[in-house]
Structure 1
Amino acid sequence: MSKGDDTKAMIIEKAAALFNQQGYAGSSMSDIMRVTGLQKGGIYNHFHSKDDLSLQAFDYAVSQIQRQYRSAWASKQNAIERLQAIIDVFRIFIDNPQHPIMRGGCPLLNTAIESDDAHPALKARAQQAMDSWRLLFRRIIEKGIKKGEINPKVDGDEVASIIISILEGSVMMSKLNGDSIHLERAIKHLNDYINSNLRI
């Protein structure tokens, strides 16, 4: 990577963490300059606007979460184990709450809530990321059904909705109350749910 590429990557990484903690609307250019150590011109050398930076920062944050997922389930052969490994990734909010990208909670949840009406391009990007996450669960379930590892009566899209809703809701509750017990309960419940309803 060139020095310019390194600088751009650093801006994106720092901005992603800032936006996840303070929100896009709540983060000023002064805040971005503070966390990056750059002047406004140095930032705008790499981005057309704050909105451009926000989209690239969101993509970066999502890519970091996806990397965690891939790492968690890459060595798992069974569909049930893969689902449980992805759910277990959410322990990062318990075990490593100061992770730069996760410090403010789940970037996808935060962005989906904040960008609802105020930032249509960011909302579309959040929807795309959510669709990708749902598709991941559905594909694992469909392959599990074909391999005889998951109950064939299971509706993959329904299960994806349940898992995502419970995980995201529990992250929100744990973050709001400063207590990881809500996420711990959700992870336990989802593992019990998978063992009771999906496993053959």
Structure 2
Amino acid sequence: MPSKADNTKQMIVEKAAPLFNTKGYAGTSMRDILAATGLTKGGVYGNFPGKDEIAAAAFAHSYGKLRAALLRAVASQATAQGRLVAVLKFYRNYTVQPVVAGGCPVMNAAVETDDAYPVLHRQVRAALAELLAGLSRLFAQGITEEALRPDLNPDQEAEYFYAQIQGGILLSQTSGDPRVLNRLLDRLRDYLERQLVR
């Protein structure tokens, strides 16, 4: 059973995660975290040494929610092609109905992290690698199932799909128009069904 300290730490992470995902690392202050959690400085610093550690835990929490939701979305599909379509459906209207408030935690953190935030940067790179590897496996499975063309490069197709999805999210968020993302998702599905199938 989790201790009171564990519960407090988890509460801090859950309250801080949407702040970092919405306002960014630089835009989220300790004052924001204190206001969101209702804790004193001592209550927060008694659980985390500083903002960097809270940001790292918050990103892990947000990415975990995204990962779990994606896995649920594809779990009901029996074929790799069906799972790829499920991924596209998962991201439909994502800018207005995100899993975590503020949008995609991987893209949001990727935009802001660099050498100045090495721990968070490593987490983002690991998350991106995992997402791309998952997509690549789906393309490879589609080839094995003889549903997709045998000459496809799974890694390159995964990169193309993910870049189109994240580009669509960026364009939709910037323009305030979720239809931009949805149009790109429709084109990806058309690309999958017209050019990648055997």
Q: What TM-score comes out, normalization by structure 1 length?
A: 0.93
* 1:46-71 C-alpha deviation (Å, 9 max, x unpaired): 21221111111101111100011110
2:93 and 2:50 mapped to 1: Cα distance?
Answer: 32
> Aligned residues: percent identity?
37
**For residues 3-82 of structure 1, what are the structure 2 equivalents within 5 Å?**
3-82=4-83
Return the letter of the residue paired with 1:24.
Y
| Distance verdict in 2 for CA 1:148–1:66, change over 3 Å | same
Query: How far off is 1:31 after superposition?
Result: 0.4
Q: Mean alpha-carbon deviation: is it higher for 184-193 or for 139-148? A: 139-148
Match of 1:114 among 100, 112, 115: 112
Asked whether the equivalents of residues 73 and 85 of structure 1 are also in contact (C-alpha less than 8 Å), the reply is: yes
2:131 and 2:95 mapped to 1: Cα distance?
Answer: 21
Asked whether the equivalents of residues 95 and 173 of structure 2 are also in contact (C-alpha less than 8 Å), the reply is: no
* 1:108-156 C-alpha deviation (Å, 9 max, x unpaired): 1110010123312211111110000010011111122112122111111
Asked whether the equivalents of residues 79 and 150 of structure 1 are also in contact (C-alpha less than 8 Å), the reply is: no
- Note the residue ranges of structure 1 that are not aligned, 5 or more in a row: none
Q: Does 1:131 align with 2:132?
A: no
* Match of residue 141 from structure 1: 139
Return the letter of the residue paired with 1:77.
A
- Note the residue ranges of structure 2 that are not aligned, 5 or more in a row: none
Return the letter of the residue paired with 1:181.
R
1:51 and 1:94 mapped to 2: Cα distance?
Answer: 27
Query: How far off is 1:36 after superposition?
Result: 1.1
Query: How far off is 1:95 after superposition?
Result: 5.5
Asked whether the equivalents of residues 87 and 187 of structure 1 are also in contact (C-alpha less than 8 Å), the reply is: yes
* Match of residue 97 from structure 2: 96
Asked whether the equivalents of residues 93 and 178 of structure 2 are also in contact (C-alpha less than 8 Å), the reply is: no
1:95 and 1:119 mapped to 2: Cα distance?
Answer: 29
Query: How far off is 1:197 after superposition?
Result: 2.2
Q: What TM-score comes out, normalization by structure 2 length?
A: 0.94
Query: How far off is 1:94 after superposition?
Result: 4.8
Number of equivalenced pairs: 197
